[in-house]
Amino acid sequence: MQYLFNKKQFIIFLLSISFLAFAPKIVLAAEYDLIWSQVSNPSGGSDIPAGVAADSSGIYAVGHDMTLGVNNSQWRIEKRSLTDGALIWSQVSNQSDGHDFAYEVAADSTGIYVVGGDSVPGNYQWRIEKRQITAYIDCGLRIRNGIQTIFIACEPAGTLTSPLRIRKGATTYGIPLVGTSDSSASAIRINTSSGIKALRKYP
């Protein structure tokens, strides 16, 4: 009778099986493991992102939302953190009573460029906008800190998220608030429902 193994080979085979049975299992991480994810649901309709760009300060996502109704989509632009995707700021633009939509965005050191369309003439037309990288503008608000004049940031007209607001002529601006230890915090403090905040310096 012919055997497949001699005695020595058979012992080595048994030892190999025993080692495989009790060896620690090595699990390799997937090459593209999820780092973070975020969702945004501004309306009960179909809110759709269409384009994204990034610079050293964050990522910019553009698309449209249905906050004003299913027949009146508006541009939506969000800036989010590179680290965890947290919302830094958002802006909307409703050029017409029809469908307005942003499709693509690009960024450089001077601003972001958003392209899409609007329904202002009653039919779809191209629309191209350049917007600030920051969510804030200089609305003319100033404070004195000793001998230094400090510029205070304002939210653009039509983008009111801060509870602190100022009226200039016919326009209402929001004044952004930050933590007192923030690098952009001014010396002006106010008491809010979420604690002591500082008026944000511009830019």
What was the pLDDT predicted at 106? 96
Q: 182: how many CB neighbours lie within 10 A of its CB?
A: 13
User: Which of 12-16, 49-53, 130-134, 177-181 shows the highest mean pLDDT?
Assistant: 49-53
pLDDT at 36 over 60: yes
Name the residue among 91, 93, 89 with its Cα closest to residue 74: 93
Inter-residue contact 68 to 77 (CB < 8 Å): no
Quick: pLDDT tens for 99-157: 999 999 999 988 899 999 999 999 999 999 998 777 788 889 999 888 889 999 998 77
Average pLDDT, the chain: 84
Tell me the whole-structure pTM to 2 decimals. 0.58
With a cut of 90, say whether residue 33 has pLDDT above it.
no
Copy the structure tokens of residue 191. Answer: 């008491």
- Report the Cα 192 to chain-centroid distance in Å: 25
Average pLDDT score over residue span 176-186: 89
In the predicted model, what is the mean pLDDT of residues 2-19? Answer: 52
Averaged pLDDT for residues 169-185: 89
Q: What is the mean pLDDT of the segment spanning 19-27?
A: 56
Quickly state the pLDDT bin for 88 (edges 50, 70, 90): confident
Q: Over 70: is that where the pLDDT of 91 sits?
A: yes
The predicted structure's pLDDT at residue 134: 72
Model pLDDT, residue 128: 94
Instruction: Check if the beta carbon of residue 146 is closer than 8 Å to that of residue 127.
Output: no
Res 93: pLDDT? 86
CB 76 within 8 A of CB 66: no
Taking the C-alpha atoms of residue 27 and residue 17, their distance in angstroms, rounded to an integer, is: 20
